[in-house]
Amino acid sequence: MLEVRKTAIISSLVFGLMISSIYLVAQVYDFRVTFSEKDKVNNKYESLSFKFNLLLNEVEYFRNQLTIRKVATEKLGMRSPSFKDQILVTKESSNK
């Protein structure tokens, strides 16, 4: 009876060890998959953040251009040249 009890205890401990080992492997796998997805999201966030900052700079540039145009037309009395006022200057190439 004692021998059967020892065998049952050892068998249950081995079974528990196997189950916990399988569970540990599953947790490690899930961790690696989640970490990989998190890394992809972080890379996408950095890329989008960079593009967002570029767009903000571009918006600021155009806002400044509009402000300069407004000041030039309203306060300085400047105007865009008409087609007949424009002069086209070309440079001849010296391929001799």
Task: Tokens 């989640």: give the residue.
Answer: 34
**Which band of pLDDT confidence, cut at 50, 70 and 90, is reported for residue 96?**
low
**Which band of pLDDT confidence, cut at 50, 70 and 90, is reported for residue 4?**
very high
pLDDT tens digit sequence for 56-76:
999 999 999 989 988 888 888
Residues 6+ apart with CB under 8 A from 73: 79
Rounded to whole angstroms, how far apart are CA atoms 44 and 31? 20
Domain positions in the chain are 2-77
Counting residues of the chain whose pLDDT is more than 70, the rounded percentage is: 99
**Which band of pLDDT confidence, cut at 50, 70 and 90, is reported for residue 93?**
confident
pLDDT of residue 88: 85
Q: What average pLDDT does the structure give for the chain?
A: 93
Burial readout 59-86 (b: 16 or more C-beta within 10 A, e: otherwise): eeeeeeeeeeeeeeeeeeeeeeeeeeee
Which pTM does this prediction carry? Answer: 0.54
